[in-house]
Amino acid sequence: MHKKLLIPGPTEVSKEILQEQNRCLIGHREKEFSTLYAGITDKITKFFELTPDIKPTVTTSSGTLWFDIVARSVVKHKALACVNGAFSKRAAQTLQSCGKETDILEVEMGKAIKADMVAEKLETNKYDTVTVCHNETSTGVRSPVKEIAQMIRKDYPEVIIAVDAVSSLAGDKLVPSEIGCDIIFSSTQKCFALPPGLAVGLVSERAIERAKTVPTRGGYTDIVEMFEFEKKHQTPFTPNVSLLYALDKRMDLLLAETHDGVYQRHKDMADYTQKWAKKHFSMFSEPGYESITVSCINNTQNKDVKALNQQLAERGYLISAGYGALADKTFRIGHMGEWKLEDIKHVIGLIDEIWQIGK
């Protein structure tokens, strides 16, 4: 039996979207391709209310490629990497392993990165790039990227701000021009509810101008080249056309639902899940900074999550254990993508029944 995915990526993909990949292939230097691709980037532009100084691109890669893109194409002399969990840590390690001098601002797992913490680092050191994770999937923490970006834009206008929104873009509401960030990226297997294999990047002119002065851009990670090809509605290398068909369809669905509608649906699922979690367990994430796409719950009742998943599997669902060192201490429910409140109510009802926890 297929287990429907309530894990924080990959998330469940509807039949309607899966079928889009069945179409015949087209050559990526053909006019037909440019029409398809231009349509997708137009829809992305509309959905995220992109201003002319912020441009979209789609890479054939998972989201992690963007750690390398930021490291190779954007960081010039020195970066500040904000770390509050496993994914932001990986971003920091990527900057370092690409040979870029990097300072790390680290807070305890479960805590958010806040503007004053970043300001304190920027006061004492000179950085040209700051990286921050909007939605730390390992801890279910949502950091106030808008406050961080606004502070940087105001006091350090030359600094490029790169935001990992892999598990929140197209679920949570993120409008780059309102936030004030330069680069924001996401993979398609999270809130976009597509199969894995594509990543969406929204990039400011400022970041592209910076990249032109950075000599280490590499090949697949060269953001200047990417946006040169964007002018022709093409990608520098062979893209996954099948997935682009699916993305095109998904953007139609997102636009029909509206950005506010998508946000509210995720917020409702998060509120329901977290109210339940607080009643029977507690939240791992710092109060006030809970993610709206994934709930990371302290396993205060010492429940057997593996056994739960075996029983949920018989009913056709899968949730997630904690990440890494948090495996037994927490469990996570992913409520991202096309899920609706009624689905979450149903699955939480099943968990109540299996664990015999009262209403």
Residues lying near ligand PLP in the complex (CB under 6 A) = 9, 62-64, 87, 133, 135, 137, 164, 166-167, 187
Residues near 249 by beta carbon (within 8 Å), at least 6 away in sequence? 16, 17, 20
Nearer to ligand PLP, 76 or 111 (CB): 111
What is the spatial distance between Cα 189 and Cα 199, in angstroms, rounded to a whole number?
9
What is the spatial distance between Cα 351 and Cα 331, in angstroms, rounded to a whole number?
12
Angle, CA 331 vertex, CA 330 and CA 335 arms, to 5°: 140
What is the spatial distance between Cα 184 and Cα 209, in angstroms, rounded to a whole number?
16
Contact by Cβ (8 Å): 4, 339: no
Closest CB 27 distance from ligand PLP, rounded Å: 27
Nearer to ligand PLP, 65 or 122 (CB): 65
* Residue 83 backbone phi and psi in degrees, to 5: -120, 120
Closest CB 124 distance from ligand PLP, rounded Å: 27
Closest CB 84 distance from ligand PLP, rounded Å: 11
Nearer to ligand PLP, 62 or 242 (CB): 62
Structure tokens, 272: 């329901």
Nearer to ligand PLP, 87 or 276 (CB): 87
Contact by Cβ (8 Å): 24, 203: no
Nearer to ligand PLP, 33 or 87 (CB): 87
Closest CB 66 distance from ligand PLP, rounded Å: 8
Burial class (CB in 10 A: 0-12, 13-18, 19+), 14: middle
Distances 215 to 124, 183, 309 between C-alpha atoms, Å: 27, 19, 49
Nearer to ligand PLP, 5 or 350 (CB): 5
Closest CB 64 distance from ligand PLP, rounded Å: 3
Closest CB 247 distance from ligand PLP, rounded Å: 14
What is the spatial distance between Cα 342 and Cα 79, in angstroms, rounded to a whole number?
43
Classified as helix, coil or strand, 135 is: strand
Up-side HSE of residue 343: CA atoms within 13 Å toward CB? Answer: 20
State the chain's maximal CA–CA distance in angstroms: 61
The residue to which tokens 């709206």 are assigned: 292
Closest CB 30 distance from ligand PLP, rounded Å: 28
At position 343, the amino acid (one-letter code) is D
Nearer to ligand PLP, 169 or 351 (CB): 169
Structure tokens, 95: 């900057």
Nearer to ligand PLP, 70 or 75 (CB): 70
Closest CB 258 distance from ligand PLP, rounded Å: 24
Closest CB 354 distance from ligand PLP, rounded Å: 27
Nearer to ligand PLP, 162 or 350 (CB): 162
Contact by Cβ (8 Å): 182, 161: yes
Classified as helix, coil or strand, 103 is: strand
